């Protein structure tokens, strides 16, 4: 792994244009429509409620959270696949939310996405060669050397170029995910949004894809936004981590900061609930078992959104929303009662 | 192979041939081939296809079509002497067609020639209805399903309005206006009132497909809407469209028959299967064959097209042989 | 919120000698012998399960782990008689000495749901959306016992309370869609244990759930199991879940068990290269050493055209000519209760870190 030391983390960075990608106070609401004749808007699903993230060239930002926390929506909103309700997404200083179509095309070459489901993300009626050639064609780059480039891409992701004329259903899940990666790489992007790229795969296949992603990062200096719910995978691949809960980032920082010294109660619970494939550690672990389920994003709790399941919750949590700032833990935490907890994952790992 | 701790063998990272060859041994058939295979195995569909082909070949080769002559020497327009009360001669003397295999009508026209002509016209109308329905239904359904919002609201309200009026009444009005201008216009006019079912289906398919990740991937690349519709979504709806179009043809045959029966379809001296039934309904008791022959052909065509449609649906949508895990 | 004990149940009782192949020990509850399942398809016969034998003891948690297509789900559905009619099942399943597969339909049904219960991955498919939870739970009781409906409902409320659903009595009137995913899975657990079963087959019970909810459900499952004294067969692809709750683990590959042992020793010292490969594939939750993962190359074989020899041979770094020719049987390795199906288990035993066999070129280059 490259020894890049990313810039100090702060959720609300004043400097603009320093990072490759800057997301500021991103809000993404989806209207809930009534079933009546007029289909009036009766509510809002607050999928993302003010998320700020930074991504530097060549680094991996892990975004973790459970279903419904808005991590995938954030990824899509960055790419303008959903038009954000509010907030700003800056790519190399350019504001994507207001960018004319023509210029957005140029950004799309630099910023691509890999999807979770290798079965749904490839057009079943297109041979693999065409799927990978599609970005080249759309951007007018197919005419000179297109077929050769497609072959090169297939080889790059570890597939046999001779199988390019086959259809997606003839490939296994892992192979399909490689095809999806080849498509994302076709236009030589600078950054990839990886939306749960390995969670639909079997573990043995998963590892191959993770290795491939690491190799590609080393070779092309790619930056990744790695969206996932698997905490082990995120720990393995990320330089920095942002933990999301119900549409908000609750804690963010260097990978080891988050995993060794989690300070938000939710991060602590999440890490302690994550199963470890080590029976000895599992036997010794004290789990924090959260009560209840994640509240509906259509009607999130007032104040701190985690308070309904939090054992530290007091009155202030219901009235005042905690800001995502460093409260002396060395990294930003959105909790009024942020407090490091060292022995969450590995009881033997308590280092001073 | 060494067994010490130091040097276990090493797996190469990228083994293109190796990696891709695994899991490839089983199926190397395209989806089209699989659909065809399942279709060819569908007994009812094969029976339907055989019957339909037989009827088409019979109808067009016997009395010919347009400038092309056929092997049957009698015209559906020429009157003649009524022999033996106009009784059919088919199989009366062994396996021979005889002079008038389907008999004659009251003015001595050869009924075989008439039924063949009626079959031809009915098939033409039905296929035109099928084509027009498919084009309109696909276009409107695709636009509504893809663009959503106002486009969808307007298009689907029109569709709903058309569905709420019984097709037969709509068709009768259209046919009364266009019926006299020839069968091509009649077919087009009828197609214009029968696309609603397909439009709804295509819209549903589009709405489901546009949320699929491969469409999102296309949008992330910056693909234009037109290209997304034609290259990414439409090819995935072909199954539904083909099946529905087939069934629309079957319905078209019956619709034309119904209209002709009401005297609104094909106008004399030309005939269709429906108009033959109307014209000779009074002969039901005295010369029942004048009623039965066109009836048999209508039922045979409609059934075989329906069977083909069922076969296509099963071929495109093989929900049966899935294995869990 | 509660700080609770680790989910792992400490079995205070002395563990009897384990032999997985022929486990005729006194407290044997269920014994599966040479179970095979195949499905005829357009492309040929799919041999989903190719001779599975194992036994489950009273009150133990047996983990069955495998990747998709390994036959782990199909084999347990065969126990429950839940396979489609086209499936061809052979072999025997002895429940307390009686062969379940030979029983008449009626007796099989009596056994299922009362003595042997099942929990599915997706509770929505197992719960009927048009009946209330109370109706469905009561129905589960009444189809095996004769008692007044009132009493059945009491029992239902008691069960809901046991699986941690607050205001159990009021919630009996709710319909499945009124529960969240985690709550529905609790209802499924309540339904599974309502007749005091001896064995619960849990097929990926937490796969569809989030991590924090998964932890709740696994804890509930263990509590409930202890309350009714049942054994559990836990089928999952998640080695973390297995590590947390299984006493013994059976690893399936291409329709066969390839390794059976106590969970701890197996994770520490796998004796089958496939198991070692799985261990090498999982990133560690506990440290950030940035070590390269060690994936298993290739993909599982097609269940229609299996290799003659070991099914894992094409992907195995230890493979030799012997592996191509003969399929290794499950045999004892260095410990009697640790069986594995590999010609070369000694090679794994000889190294400190068996996953090292799966090292990639790039890792060595680093």
Distance of alpha carbon C82 from alpha carbon B122, whole angstroms: 51
The residues of C whose Cβ lies within 8 A of any Cβ of B are 39, 41-43, 46, 48, 68-74, 77, 86, 294, 297-302, 304-305, 314-315, 317-318, 320, 346-347, 350-353, 356-362, 364
Conformational region of residue C69, where left means phi above 0, alpha means psi within -120 to 50, and beta covers everything else: left
User: What are the pLDDT tens digits along chain C (366 aa)?
Assistant: 444 444 344 443 333 444 444 444 568 899 999 999 999 887 788 899 999 999 999 999 999 999 888 888 888 888 888 888 888 999 999 988 888 888 888 888 888 878 898 888 887 778 888 999 999 999 888 888 888 889 999 999 999 988 888 888 889 999 988 888 888 888 999 988 888 899 999 998 888 888 888 888 898 899 999 988 999 999 999 998 999 899 999 999 999 999 999 999 999 889 999 999 998 888 888 877 777 888 888 888 888 888 888 999 998 888 889 899 889 998 888 888 899 999 988 888 888 888 888 877 666 554
DSSP string, C125-192: HHS-TTS-HHHHHHHHHHTT----HHHHHHHHHHHHHHTT-SSHHHHTT--GGGS-HHHHHHHHHHHH
Distance of alpha carbon A226 from alpha carbon A235, whole angstroms: 11
For domain C24-246, the CATH architecture is 3-Layer(aba) Sandwich (3.40)
Q: HSE, CB side, 13 Å, CA atoms: give it for residue A191.
A: 26
Chain A CB within 8 Å of residue C278 CB: yes
Distance of alpha carbon B261 from alpha carbon B254, whole angstroms: 10
Q: Which residues does B132 contact at the CB level (< 8 Å), separation at least 6?
A: B187, B188, B190, B191, B192, B195
Please give the C-alpha separations between residue B140 and each of B114, B193, C249, in angstroms, as whole numbers. 38, 13, 57
CA distance C23 to chain A (A): 24
pLDDT score at A14: 46
CB-nearest to C305 from B5, B25, B325 is B25
Distance of alpha carbon B132 from alpha carbon A57, whole angstroms: 55
CB-nearest to A210 from C243, C244, C293 is C293
**Considering only CB atoms, which chain C residues are within 8 Å of A276?**
240, 243-244, 284-286
Q: Which pTM was predicted?
A: 0.81
The residues of B whose Cβ lies within 8 A of any Cβ of A are 13-17, 19-24, 27-28, 30-31, 212-214, 216-224, 227, 231-232, 235-236, 238
CB-nearest to C73 from B12, B321, B325 is B325
Name the CATH topology of C251-364.
Answer: Rossmann fold (3.40.50)
Distance of alpha carbon C225 from alpha carbon C250, whole angstroms: 20
Here the ipTM equals 0.82
Alpha-helical runs (H) found in chain B: 16-21, 31-41, 43-62, 111-147, 149-164, 167-178, 183-193, 196-210, 213-221, 225-227, 238-261, 273-279, 289-316
Domain spans of chain C?
A: 24-246, 251-364
CA distance B2 to chain C (A): 9
CA distance A321 to chain B (A): 34
Instruction: Quote the crossing angle between the two packed helices B238-261 and B289-316, to the nearest 10°.
Output: 170
CA B24 to chain centre: 36
Three-class SS state of C69: coil
Using CB atoms, list chains with 3+ pairs below 8 Å to chain B.
Answer: A, C
Domains C24-246 and C251-364 in one fold = yes
CB-nearest to B22 from C299, C304, C364 is C299
Are the C-beta atoms of residues C320 and A236 closer than 8 Å to each other?
Answer: no
CA distance C341 to chain B (A): 18
Distance of alpha carbon A194 from alpha carbon A201, whole angstroms: 14
Distance of alpha carbon C77 from alpha carbon C75, whole angstroms: 5
Return the bridge partners of C93, or none: C32
Q: Is A143 exposed, middle or buried (0-12, 13-18, 19+ CB in 10 A)?
A: exposed
CB–CB contacts below 8 A, A to C: 172
Which one of C9, C182, C210 makes the best mutation probe of the A interface by having the most chain A beta carbons within 10 Å? Answer: C210
Three-class SS state of C87: coil
Using CB atoms, list chains with 3+ pairs below 8 Å to chain C.
Answer: A, B
Instruction: Read off the tokens for A140.
Output: 């007018």
CA distance B146 to chain C (A): 30
b/e for C146-177, b at 16 or more Cβ within 10 A? Answer: eeeeeebbbbbbebbebbbbeebeebbebbbe
- The bridge status of strand A240-245 relative to strand C199-203 is unpaired
Q: What structural domains does chain B harbor?
A: 38-315 (1.10.3720.10)
**Considering only CB atoms, which chain C residues are within 8 Å of A272?**
215
pLDDT score at A38: 64
């Amino acid at each position: 792994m490259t020894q890049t030391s990313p810039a100090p983390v702060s959720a609300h960075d004043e400097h603009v244009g320093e990072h490759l990608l800057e997301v500021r106070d991103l809000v993404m609401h989806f209207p809930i429509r009534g079933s009546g004749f007029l289909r009036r808007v009766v509510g809002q699903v607050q999928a993302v409620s003010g998320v700020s993230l930074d991504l530097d060239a060549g680094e991996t930002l892990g975004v973790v959270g459970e279903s419904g926390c808005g991590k995938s929506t954030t990824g899509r909103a960055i790419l303008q696949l959903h038009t954000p309700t509010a907030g700003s997404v800056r790519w190399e200083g350019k504001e994507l939310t207001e960018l004319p179509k023509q210029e957005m095309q140029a950004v799309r070459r630099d910023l691509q996405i890999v999807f979770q489901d290798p079965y749904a993300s490839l057009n079943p009626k297109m041979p693999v060669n065409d799927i990978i050639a599609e970005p080249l064609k759309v951007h007018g780059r197919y005419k000179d050397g297109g077929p050769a480039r497609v072959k090169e891409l297939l080889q790059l992701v570890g597939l046999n170029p001779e199988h390019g004329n086959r259809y997606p259903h003839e490939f296994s899940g892992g192979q399909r995910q490689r095809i999806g990666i080849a498509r994302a790489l076709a236009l030589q992007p600078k950054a990839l949004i990886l939306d749960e790229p390995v969670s639909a795969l079997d573990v043995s296949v998963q590892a191959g894809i993770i290795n491939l992603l690491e190799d590609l990062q080393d070779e092309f200096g790619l930056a990744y936004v790695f969206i996932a719910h698997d905490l082990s995978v995120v720990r393995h691949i990320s330089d920095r981590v942002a933990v999301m809960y119900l549409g908000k980032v609750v804690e963010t920082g260097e990978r080891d900061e988050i995993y060794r010294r989690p300070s938000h109660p939710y991060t602590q619970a999440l890490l302690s609930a994550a199963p470890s494939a080590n029976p000895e550690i599992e036997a010794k672990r004290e789990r924090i078992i959260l009560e209840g389920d994640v509240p509906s994003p259509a009607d999130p709790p007032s104040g701190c959104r985690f308070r309904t399941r939090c054992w530290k919750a007091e009155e202030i949590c219901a009235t005042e929303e905690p800001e995502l700032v460093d409260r002396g833990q060395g990294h930003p935490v959105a909790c009024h009662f942020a407090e490091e907890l060292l022995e969450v994952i590995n009881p033997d790992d308590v280092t001073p | 192979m060494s067994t010490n701790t130091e040097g276990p063998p090493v797996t190469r990272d990228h083994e293109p041939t190796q990696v891709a060859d695994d899991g490839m041994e089983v199926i190397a058939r395209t989806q089209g081939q699989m659909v065809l295979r399942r279709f060819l195995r569908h007994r009812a569909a094969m029976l339907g296809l055989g019957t339909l082909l037989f009827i088409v070949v019979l109808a067009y080769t016997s009395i010919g079509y347009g400038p092309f002559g056929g092997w049957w020497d009698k015209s559906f327009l020429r009157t003649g002497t009524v022999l033996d009360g106009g009784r059919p001669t088919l199989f009366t003397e062994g396996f021979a067609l005889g002079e008038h295999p389907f008999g004659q009508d009251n003015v001595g026209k050869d009924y075989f020639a008439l039924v063949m002509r009626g079959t031809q016209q009915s098939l033409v109308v039905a296929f035109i209805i099928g084509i027009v329905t498919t084009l309109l239904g696909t276009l409107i359904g695709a636009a509504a399903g893809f663009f959503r919002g106002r486009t969808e609201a307007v298009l689907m309200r029109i569709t709903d309005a058309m569905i709420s009026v019984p097709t037969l009444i709509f068709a009768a009005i259209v046919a009364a206006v266009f019926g006299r201008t020839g069968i091509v216009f009649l077919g087009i006019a009828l197609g214009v009132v029968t696309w609603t079912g397909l439009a709804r289906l295509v819209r549903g398919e589009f709405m489901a497909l546009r949320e699929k990740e491969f469409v999102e991937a296309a949008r992330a690349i910056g693909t234009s809407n037109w290209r997304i519709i034609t290259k990414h979504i439409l090819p995935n709806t072909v199954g539904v469209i083909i099946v529905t179009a087939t069934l629309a043809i079957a319905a078209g045959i019956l619709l034309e028959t119904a209209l002709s029966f009401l005297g609104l379809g094909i106008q004399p001296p030309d005939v269709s299967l429906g108009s033959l039934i109307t014209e000779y309904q009074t002969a039901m008791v005295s010369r029942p064959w004048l009623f039965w022959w066109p009836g048999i052909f209508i039922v045979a065509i409609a059934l075989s097209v329906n069977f083909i449609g069922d076969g296509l649906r099963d071929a495109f949508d093989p929900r049966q042989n899935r294995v869990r895990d | 919120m509660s700080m609770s004990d680790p989910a792992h149940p400490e079995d205070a009782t002395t563990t009897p000698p384990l032999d997985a192949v022929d486990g005729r020990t006194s407290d044997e509850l269920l014994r599966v012998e040479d179970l095979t399942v195949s499905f005829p398809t357009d492309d040929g016969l799919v041999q989903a399960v190719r001779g599975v034998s194992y036994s489950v003891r009273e009150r133990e948690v047996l983990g069955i782990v495998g990747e998709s297509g390994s036959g782990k789900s199909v084999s347990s559905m065969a126990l429950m008689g839940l396979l489609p009619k086209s499936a061809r099942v052979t072999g025997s399943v002895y429940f307390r000495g009686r062969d379940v597969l030979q029983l008449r339909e009626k007796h099989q049904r009596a056994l299922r749901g009362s003595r042997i219960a099942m929990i599915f991955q997706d509770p929505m498919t197992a719960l009927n959306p048009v009946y209330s939870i109370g109706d469905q739970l009561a129905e589960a009781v009444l189809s095996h016992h004769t008692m007044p409906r009132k009493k059945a409902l009491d029992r239902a409320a008691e069960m809901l309370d046991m699986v941690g659903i607050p205001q159990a009595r009021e919630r009996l009137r709710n319909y499945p869609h009124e529960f969240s995913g985690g709550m529905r899975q609790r209802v499924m657990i309540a339904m599974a244990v309502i007749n005091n079963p001896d064995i619960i087959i849990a097929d990926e019970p937490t796969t569809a759930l989030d991590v924090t909810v998964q932890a709740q459900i696994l804890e509930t499952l263990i509590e409930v199991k202890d309350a009714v004294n049942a054994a559990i067969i836990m089928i999952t692809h998640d080695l973390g879940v297995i590590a947390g709750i299984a006493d013994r683990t059976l690893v399936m590959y291409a329709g066969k068990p390839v390794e059976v042992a106590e969970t701890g020793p197996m994770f520490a010292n796998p004796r089958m290269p496939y198991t070692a490969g799985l261990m090498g594939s999982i990133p560690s939750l506990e440290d950030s050493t940035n070590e390269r993962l060690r994936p298993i190359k290739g993909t599982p074989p097609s269940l229609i055209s299996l290799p003659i020899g070991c099914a894992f041979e094409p992907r195995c770094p230890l493979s030799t000519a012997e592996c191509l020719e003969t399929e290794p049987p499950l045999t004892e390795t260095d410990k009697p209760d640790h069986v594995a199906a590999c010609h070369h288990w000694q090679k794994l035993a000889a190294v400190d870190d068996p996953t090292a066999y799966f090292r990639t070129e790039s890792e060595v280059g680093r």
